[in-house]
Structure 1
Amino acid sequence: MFGDMMGMMEKLKETQQKVEATKKRLDTVLIDEKSNDELLSITLTANRTIKSIEIADELLEDKEQLEDYLILTLNKAIEKATNVNEAELAAVAKEGMPNIPGMDMFK
């Protein structure tokens, strides 16, 4: 029984290390999002850190329009990044789950 417990603890520790490595790797995964008319372009990491924002000159003439573009495009980019982030971390966590009877809800 203690061997099983030690094995599970070791597997959980390995999984935690893989999760941390995945989080670091997600800092290098870039998500690009553009407004429908491509006047605004945003790049962020899968960990939701903004890397760049490109704004067409014509958007600089209308503050309210620019704000609307930023809100819409940032929200779309953040949603995409969150989906990538959650999928990657869930895959690592699922892979590392020990086989505990009754805990098969993750499979």
Structure 2
Amino acid sequence: MFDKLFQAQQKAEEVKKRLDSISVLGEAEGGKVRVVASANKEIKEVKIDNAFLDQLQDKEELEELLAVAINKALQQAENVSQSEMQAVSQDLLGGVGGLGNLFAGKK
């Protein structure tokens, strides 16, 4: 049983490393505001189109667009993370499906 727990821990570490290497993108205003994050929900990069920034007259508009782009990136990261974890869970559950029989023979 401890082997299964150790395997689960190893798989979780592998997933974390894989999620660190996956980039997701959130955009606002047709790509003029872009945010890149890792699938582990770490913001890696924020880009604002220079021409758009030059014509922008309202700081609050930029702040709102940044929030939109960040939230989109984080939602994409969450989706990727859930997919990866679900795949690993199914993999592990296939290997621990016999746990229900662990105590069956003991009275």
* Cα contact 2:25–2:76 (8 A) shared by 1: no
Matched residue, 2:87: 91
After superposition, the Cα gap between the structure-2 partners of 1:66 and 1:36, relative to the gap in structure 1 and judged at 3 Å, is closer
Shift of the alpha carbon at 1:101?
A: 3.1
Kept in 1, the 8 Å contact 2:25–2:72? The answer is: no
Determine if the alignment matches structure 1 residue 25 to structure 2 residue 18: yes
Q: Which has the larger radius of gyration?
A: 2
Q: Moved runs in structure 1, 4+ residues, more than 6 A?
A: none
Is contact 1:35-1:69 (8 Å) kept?
Answer: yes
- TM normalised by structure 2 equals 0.78
Aligned residues: 95
Say whether residues 1:72 and 2:68 are aligned partners. Answer: yes
Identity %: 36
**Post-superposition shift, 1:9?**
2.5
| Aligned twin of 1:101 | 100
- Which residue of structure 2 aligns with residue 62 of structure 1? 58
Residue-by-residue CA offset, 1:50-88 (whole Å, 9 max, x unaligned): 111101233453211101101111111101101101110
Q: Does 1:13 align with 2:6?
A: yes
**RMSD of aligned residue pairs (Cα, Å):** 1.8
Distance (whole Å) between structure 2 residues aligned to residue 34 and residue 24 of structure 1: 25
